[in-house]
Structure 1
Amino acid sequence: MNGNKRGFWRSPLRGPWFTSVLGLVLLIGLPVLFVTGLLSYAAYNPDLGRGNDHTPDRGILGFFLFPWPTSPHWLYRVTQGIHVIGGFVLIPVVLAKLWSVFPRLFQWPPVRSLTHALERGSLLLLVGATLFELVTGVLNTQLDYLFPGSFYRVHYYGAWVFFAALVVHVALRLGKLRRGLRDEGGEELRAPDPAPSTISRRGAVALVGAGSLTLFAVTAGQVTGGPLRRTALLAPHGGADPGPEQNGFQVNKTAAGRGIRAADTGEHWRLRLRGPGGDLALSRAELLELEQHTVRLPIDCVEGWSTGDQTWTGVRLKDLAALAGAEPDHMYVESLQRAGAFRQVWLRANQVRDGRSLLALGVNGAPLSKDHGFPARIVVPNNPGVHQTKWVERLTIGRPV
């Protein structure tokens, strides 16, 4: 059959203006998600390998990596908050855009020229990669790992497929986007026999915007904190704080869920400290006798969730390095946990040198709760939450080999 079967699609909303307005929003929003995603990947110290995320065969795709800074301490909270909240906010826009161009899937013949084939191929990859990134991202925020392999790897490679397809697609269709905003061209989208209108095109755009605002309202509080936290219905643990028995802020991973037994954290626990000066074993009481420092820092997670600033007390990591006979250098942190990822992580030298980086023993005026890492945990400014290791067992000072 010739033509694109346009008579089947009768909505009066479809047309170049509606599609182009949604496309312009995505042209701005999706690259922001891409850039903030790369920043999140850099924050995970992937070049340090063992214990940190290590994507094999990354090659040239790792050209942008740089030593993630410790200041300002809220940077990761902002970039990851934009990444996660922005992903939710754009879901209605993506779905509306796909609805608006759906008739193009039925164009006939499907390929009219080499340029048309390239355009349709880039569109297929762009749509597929966008949906893949949104679905895996939403699943990650809800702690539902229903996809094979590491989230960081699949999300990272998916992002680069998206970016390559976006560049090609924009190069081929930027002129059509400009004409569409003037409501010119795009005849393949217009219904030849439109049904009676029940809403204006601007009203449809406003409806999509209302959907985005609703998703913003039920996600933003997990980053901003304060009264909005109660509206963060899509936060992985809801919007309520658990109370003083959990130090007054949310728990992401519990001790039971990570296989921590009472005997592991009891009176026989020792911090094993290894450096050029030899091996040391320090009890919690001995750690409390060392000079204590207090800092206010958040725990910010890849799911976009943040504790907000908490008051931590403990021993500076650079003081522990000195105790082990070393200058502040890379530090290998090992946890007691038996289940889950990131049982061991590397910290960079700049993180260990920062005077705000602690082996925390208490928070908000009380000892750490078991679920918050008792007897000791890592707290480093501007560091992803999974690198703020809980239930610390061993610290080794020195560069990775």
Structure 2
Amino acid sequence: MRIRWRSPIRGPWLTSVFGLVLLCALPVVIVTGLLDWVAYGSGSIPGDVGGLHLPRFDWPTRPAWLFRLTQGLHVGLGIVLVPVVLAKLWSVIPKLFTRPDRDLLKLAERGTLVLLVGGILFEIVTGLLNIQYDYVFGFSFYAAHYTGAWVFIAGFVLHVALKLPTMVRSLRSRSLRAELRTPLAETRSEPPHDLVAPEPARPTMSRRGALALVGGGSLLLAGLTVGQTLDGPLRATALLLPRGRTAPGDFPVNRTFEASAIDARDVGDSWRLDLGNVRLTRAELAALPQHTAELPIACVEGWSTQQTWSGVRLRDLAALAGVPSPSGADVRSVENGPFAHAALTADQVLHPDALLALRVNGADLSPDHGYPARVIVPALPGVHCTKWVAAIGFAR
């Protein structure tokens, strides 16, 4: 079976170089992903995952860009690492097609590969499909992606524990500087090893060429991704993460008014904000003291943007509802479905920049951005910044 894999550059050194990159970068993806799950866990989304839940704590509202950073890193770095992951899989593919030895250590290593490879491919595929809103898998992305992450984490930790000494030895076996100076004509196979072809073919690419190809692919993906988390001219470069834009401000919108299937009459002149014992028209809300804040909004797909929002402070609405010191709030939208509800903590309600926004960038909210009113809270995931708000219940 190994005769198929005859590349002369495949071997433990090149595999270890790719492995070192992943060893340094994947923990960042893992940690930011788990933090994002905690941030999302304050509402009806992400869902029930049984005993896999992390200990619950209130997601902080300071700094305001916290979720923008963690989600941007998780998605952006995850995309950038795709070429490295594929290169690492290519480098070890001979082992995936060989009969495992009866040695318990090698059998354990093969078991970790099942978790590691299966887990990371599942995370990449579901993550990329979610970015494009393509839910062909037919199950809850949030719960499945989180559960798959724990499968991958288990495989990753076990595999590192078993293979770290081998990786260190392999990296020391050759000089990176020397390999970067070795042209195609002088490229030779590594000494005999499970990953080295017994009858190597003539090289068609040097090891430095392979590293340049993978590194160039990652840089290209970075260039096509970074604009999703940065405002300004770079926003136009985020070709892999297209989002519609609507005035005012020309910033992204995930869920349009049309997609929400809301009857326009429900957000028209008859609309009222229900605070329990108080119901307010939009004109009455606009007559209350207004507050303006520059706040980012960030979504699970990885995009984020900072805009200037104006509206009524949530804590002022709580006081108006007769709950000056709320322990939290339940926000409901005119829309039905999983995005129609969000639970806010006390800190999120009482933050001085937490708003029921009526305007953005000096103009009334557009229907796509949540007219007649939407919630915007520092560091809160975008999915919980409820649009088309119908009611807010403040808990005592």
The answer, yes or no, to whether TM exceeds 0.5 is yes
Match of 1:101 among 92, 105, 109: 92
CA separation of 1:186 and 1:24: change in aligned 2, threshold 3 A: farther
Match of 2:109 among 111, 119, 123: 119
Partner of 1:55: 48
CA positional deviation for 1:143? 1.3
Partner of 2:163: 173
CA positional deviation for 1:107? 2.1
Partner of 1:363: 360
Cα offsets for 1:103-154 (capped at 9, x unmatched)? 112223x232122111101111100000000111111111112223221100
Looking at structure 2, the residues matched to 328 and 355 of structure 1 have their Cα atoms a distance apart, in angstroms, of 14
Looking at structure 1, the residues matched to 86 and 359 of structure 2 have their Cα atoms a distance apart, in angstroms, of 46
Looking at structure 2, the residues matched to 8 and 214 of structure 1 have their Cα atoms a distance apart, in angstroms, of 30
Amino acid at match of 1:312: W
Q: Is the 8 A contact 1:368 1:376 kept in 2?
A: yes
Looking at structure 2, the residues matched to 145 and 345 of structure 1 have their Cα atoms a distance apart, in angstroms, of 22
Report 1:321-340 matches (<5 A). 321-326=318-323, 327-338=325-336, 340=337
CA positional deviation for 1:182? 2.4
Q: Give SS of 2:87's match.
A: helix
- Structure 2 unaligned runs (5+)? 175-190
CA positional deviation for 1:296? 0.6
Report 1:286-301 matches (<5 A). 286-301=284-299
Looking at structure 2, the residues matched to 259 and 23 of structure 1 have their Cα atoms a distance apart, in angstroms, of 47
Q: Give SS of 1:70's match.
A: coil
Looking at structure 2, the residues matched to 269 and 94 of structure 1 have their Cα atoms a distance apart, in angstroms, of 51
Q: Is the 8 A contact 2:333 2:388 kept in 1?
A: yes
Q: Is the 8 A contact 1:329 1:353 kept in 2?
A: no
Cα offsets for 1:212-234 (capped at 9, x unmatched)? 01111111101012111111001
Once the two structures are overlaid, the 10-residue window that deviates more, 26-35 or 5-14, is 5-14
Looking at structure 1, the residues matched to 67 and 268 of structure 2 have their Cα atoms a distance apart, in angstroms, of 34
Amino acid at match of 1:182: R
Looking at structure 1, the residues matched to 258 and 148 of structure 2 have their Cα atoms a distance apart, in angstroms, of 33
Match of 2:339 among 318, 342, 345: 342
Partner of 1:273: 275
Partner of 2:146: 156
Partner of 1:250: 252
Partner of 2:39: 43
Amino acid at match of 1:73: A
Q: Is the 8 A contact 1:377 1:390 kept in 2?
A: yes
CA positional deviation for 1:271? 0.2
Match of 2:124 among 113, 134, 138: 134
Looking at structure 2, the residues matched to 53 and 41 of structure 1 have their Cα atoms a distance apart, in angstroms, of 7
CA positional deviation for 1:289? 0.8
Partner of 1:86: 77
Normalising by structure 1, what TM-score? 0.91
CA separation of 1:195 and 1:56: change in aligned 2, threshold 3 A: closer
Amino acid at match of 1:62: L
CA-based RMSD: 1.6
Once the two structures are overlaid, the 10-residue window that deviates more, 199-208 or 140-149, is 140-149
Looking at structure 1, the residues matched to 345 and 307 of structure 2 have their Cα atoms a distance apart, in angstroms, of 23
Amino acid at match of 1:77: R
Which 4+ stretches in 1 moved above 4 angstroms?
Answer: none
Does 1:222 pair with 2:224? no
Identity among equivalent positions (%) equals: 56
CA separation of 1:82 and 1:282: change in aligned 2, threshold 3 A: same
Cα offsets for 1:189-228 (capped at 9, x unmatched)? 1122222222211221111000001111111101012111
- Structure 1 unaligned runs (5+)? none
Cα offsets for 1:16-56 (capped at 9, x unmatched)? 1110000111111111111000010011134x5xx343324
Match of 1:193 among 181, 199, 207: 199
Q: Is the 8 A contact 2:49 2:147 kept in 1?
A: no
Q: Is the 8 A contact 1:52 1:346 kept in 2?
A: no
Q: Give SS of 1:309's match.
A: strand
CA positional deviation for 1:368? 0.5
Looking at structure 2, the residues matched to 8 and 37 of structure 1 have their Cα atoms a distance apart, in angstroms, of 38
Amino acid at match of 1:249: F
Count, aligned residues: 379
Looking at structure 1, the residues matched to 229 and 49 of structure 2 have their Cα atoms a distance apart, in angstroms, of 31
Partner of 2:29: 33
CA positional deviation for 1:397? 0.6
